[in-house]
Copies of this chain bind each other. A is one copy, B any other.
Amino acid sequence: MQRYFVPHTNWKENEVIIDGDDAHHIVRVMRFQVGDNIIANHPEGKASICEIVHIEDRTVQAVIKEWLDGTVELPVEVTIAQGLPKGDKFDLVLQKGTELGANQFIPYQAERSIVKWDKKKADKKLQRYSKIVKEASEQSHRNQIPVIKPVMNLTELIKESDYYDVKIFPYEEEAKTSTYNSFGNVVQGLSSGKRILVCIGPEGGFSENEVGKLRDNGFLPVRLGPRILRTETASLYVLSSISYHLEELGC
């Protein structure tokens, strides 16, 4: 069933109002009619099956028929702090990361990021990014849309990291030592509700300064298999592995 995230203000007592792009999608793309059912997601994470009762130009009215139990959210909250990559790789991280259950994304202005975002540039991009995570959440039937935080530098990211239980950073050099931290041990130690922050370097990797500061502030270097992954692949590996371990392995 098609799923739409409906903002707070559009929930009335026992009905929802869908407008904007989603109304267009319902009417013009899906060609739904009065009597058809959709799933409406509440910003607090609940979802309900709703029946369309009225369609007007750019507004769809639907009544709540049944609240749905269950959630498909990861049992832990994973935040991906992605060192700003080149081209449209951040789009890929947002889309695939959302499918794989990320809770939050932080665009991280790393020392070796070739792209530079000022706050103005970031604000402009945010609209497009919000659309990507909303659509990916709907497509993957999630109950929540991941949050995209403002762009942060290292100092801001380290301050932000106080709110997390576990902090890691994939570090290529780690893969070359025989005493690398086991990512498996980190994931094994996660219990339900924990918050994990994953900081991923850009194309050129982390600088020595960054590695030092991350270590000093409680970030553990981990290896993600022995092969060298591209920056945009690392987050997908982390999220897939966490889902696999906590949702499919049960060991």
Contacts and interface: CB of A to CB of B under 8 A. Distances in A.
A243 B229 CA distance: 12
Nearest to A180: B248
B243 A244 contact: no
A234 B97 CA distance: 12
Interface stretch (A39-47, A124-132, A159-167, A220-228): A220-228
Contacts of A202: none
Interface stretch (A110-118, A138-146, A192-200): A138-146
B72 A227 contact: yes
Given A96-B236, A99-B230, A225 B251 contact: no
**Which of A139, A227, A233, A250 has the largest number of chain B CB atoms within 10 A?**
A227
Interface size class of A (residues with CB under 8 A): 35 or more
B225 A248 contact: yes
A182 interface: yes
A101 B247 CA distance: 23
Contacts of A244: 183-184, 187, 224-225, 237, 240-241, 244-245
Given A225-B244, A227-B142, A249-B245, A233 B99 contact: yes
29 contacts: A72-B225, A72-B227, A92-B92, A96-B230, A99-B229, A99-B233, A100-B229, A101-B225, A101-B227, A139-B228, A140-B230, A142-B227, A182-B248, A183-B248, A184-B250, A187-B249, A224-B243, A225-B244, A225-B247, A225-B248, A226-B247, A233-B236, A236-B236, A236-B237, A236-B240, A237-B240, A241-B241, A244-B244, A244-B245
Interface of A: 72, 92, 96, 99-101, 139-142, 182-184, 187-188, 223-230, 233, 236-237, 240-241, 243-245, 247-251
